[in-house]
Amino acid sequence: MLRIAICDDDKTIVESHKNITENCLKDCGSIGEIETYIASDNLLCDITEDGFFFDLILLDIEMPGSTGMEIAEKIKPCLPNVKIIFITSHIEYAIDAFELSIFRYVPKTDIDKRLPAAIQDAVKLIELEGGKTYTIQTNSRLERILYRDIYYIERDGKNASITAADGISKVRKSLQQVYSELGADEFIFIDRGCIVNMIHIMQIKGGMAVLKNGEALPISRSHLQEVKEQINHYWGMLI
Q: How far apart are CA 34 and CA 57, in angstroms?
A: 10
215-221 contact pairs (CB < 8 A, 24+): 215/151, 215/152, 217/152, 217/190, 217/191, 218/190, 218/191, 219/190, 219/191, 220/190, 220/191, 220/192
pTM of the entire structure?
Answer: 0.64
The percent of residues in the chain predicted with pLDDT above 90, rounded, is 54
**Quick one: pLDDT at residue 239?**
34
pLDDT of 213 over the 50 cut: yes
Domains and CATH numbers, the chain: 2-129 (3.40.50.2300), 133-235 (2.40.50.1020)
pLDDT digits (tens, 9 = 90+) for 172-199: 999 999 999 998 888 999 999 999 998 8
pLDDT digits (tens, 9 = 90+) for 52-66: 999 999 999 888 988
Quickly list H helices, 130-220: 175-182
